[in-house]
Amino acid sequence: MGKFEIKSTESGKTMFNLKAGNGQVILTSQSYASMDGCKNGIESVRKNSQDDGQFERKTAKDGSPFFTLNATNGQVIGKSEMYSSTDAMENGIASVKKNAPDAEITEA
C-alpha cells in the first residue's frame, strides 16, 4: 500500500512524496507554506490522479520521459522522477493512479 510522506524543507515549508508500496517515490509535490496547504495538495492528488487527462507526459532536455500531475485549474500538483523509457513512465503513472486514492498520510 502506498503512502504520502510529508516532510519539512530546509526553508521551513512542507512538501510530500507519494511512495509506492515498495517505498519508491512516484510523485513529488511542490513546497507549501503551511501544513494545511500540503494536506490540500494531497487531497488534490487523490482526486486528480483518477483522471488520465490530468497527467501531462513530458520529455526532459536529455530525452528522459517524466510526467506532471495537474489540478483542474492547470496548476502542477506533483512531478515524477526521470524515467529510462516511455513504458517505465507509463508504469509510474499507473502506480500513482493505483496508490494515491487510499494511501495513508505520514510525517517524516
Alpha helix segments (H runs only) across the chain? 35-48, 86-99
Average pLDDT over all residues of the chain: 96
d(CA 28, CA 43): 14
Distance of CA 38 to the CA centre of its chain: 12
Domain that holds residue 12: 3-107
At position 97, the amino acid (one-letter code) is K
pLDDT of residue 1: 85
The reported pTM is 0.94
Write out 9-39 in H/E/C secondary structure.
Answer: CCCCCEEEEEECCCCCEEEEECCECCHHHHH
Please count the structural domains in the chain: 1
CA 44 → CA 8, 14, 61, 63, 69, distances in Å? 19, 16, 28, 29, 10
Domain harbouring 38, CATH code:
2.30.29.80
Per-residue pLDDT averaged across 16-44, rounded?
96
Backbone dihedral angles phi then psi of residue 40, each to the nearest 5 degrees? -65, -35
Under the banding of pLDDT at 50, 70 and 90, the label for residue 108 is confident
pLDDT tens for each residue of 70-103: 999 999 999 999 999 999 999 999 999 999 999 9
Percent of the chain with pLDDT over 90: 97
